[in-house]
Amino acid sequence: MKNLLSHSKTFLGLRKKITASVREHDYEFAALFLIKNINVQLDNDLEETLQILNTLENLTKKSRVILETNCSVKERILWENILDALQDNLNQISQQLNYLNTSISSKSKVHSSLFWQHNQCIINRIKTDYENLGKIAFQILPQVEKMYWRSAIAQVQEEMLTAVLSRISICKQQYDFTTQYTPHKKTSTIMQNMLRNIPINFTLDEAQKYVSDNMKIETKPKNINWASFFNFPLKSSQKSSSENMIANQ
């Protein structure tokens, strides 16, 4: 949880940077540079969230094994539908985040409002599923298995779900921020390449100098020996002395 709070403060710090930095730097470059860094962080956060969701899916499978082993066939109807719904909802969240990640990479548009509304609906269903599953487990499991369920299933589920919800909240802030501040006009290819190659740990001043230096290299006139250029066709069209001798013979 401390890591998540620190992570959230880091993102808020990036937001403050853009308003402070643009006083001294070009608005477009400052926005593009900070958006690039936030997008990198967003990509990492989405990947980590997907890993946690995968852990929750595996935990759901483990829950199924415990219930199948310790419950009668008649009791199966009490929890089977809940586990099926839980597995489906976790899978839907994973698909959503994968879709968002792909959309960012391909720069495709996402209807942000509808996307996050649907995301919240699925999250609410997952919370309800976990609550109902816990009640049934403590109702029908033997005493020894209840103790195991509490430590190995319930506590881990709660910690993992809290981490997922916190990271999704941060991802939403990051995505909405980059969507709002990304310039509408197309960035030049040279600028895109330079932004892509700027080290992630660079400050805005260092990034500005990096781009400025590389722009000078990119736009520096190439030294061409124009004399040799114009002499080339003349030399090629003149016959050598040996060629003249052969021609005369």
The contacts of residue 123 (CB under 8 Å, 6+ apart) are 93, 165, 168
- The mean pLDDT of 171-179, rounded to a whole number, is 89
The contacts of residue 163 (CB under 8 Å, 6+ apart) are 4, 52
State the average pLDDT for the chain. 78
User: Quick one: pLDDT at residue 204?
Assistant: 66
User: Quick one: pLDDT at residue 108?
Assistant: 81
What angle (nearest 5°) sits at the alpha carbon of residue 51, between those of residues 49 and 56? 95
Angle between helices 27-70 and 155-181 (to 10 degrees): 160
For residue range 93-137, what is the model confidence (pLDDT) as tens digits?
Answer: 999 999 999 988 887 888 888 999 999 999 999 999 999 999 999
pLDDT beyond 70 at 62 = yes
- The mean pLDDT of 50-65, rounded to a whole number, is 96
User: Quick one: pLDDT at residue 237?
Assistant: 45
pTM: 0.70
Euclidean distance between CA atoms 212 and 14, whole angstroms: 22
Q: Which residue has the higher pLDDT, 77 or 106?
A: 77
Q: Which long-range contacts (CB under 8 A, 24 or more apart) does 22-29 make?
A: 25/204, 25/208, 26/208, 28/183, 28/187, 29/191, 29/207, 29/208, 29/211
For residue range 187-231, what is the model confidence (pLDDT) as tens digits?
Answer: 556 566 666 666 666 666 776 676 666 665 555 555 545 455 445
Phi, psi (rounded to 5 degrees) for 141? -80, 150
User: Quick one: pLDDT at residue 236?
Assistant: 45
Q: N- to C-terminal Cα distance for the chain?
A: 96
The structural domains of the chain, ordered by start, are: 2-185 (1.20.1410), 189-249 (no CATH)
Name, of 8-12, 16-20, 218-222, the range with top average pLDDT: 8-12
- Under 8 Å between Cβ of 113 and 87: no
- Under 8 Å between Cβ of 55 and 93: no
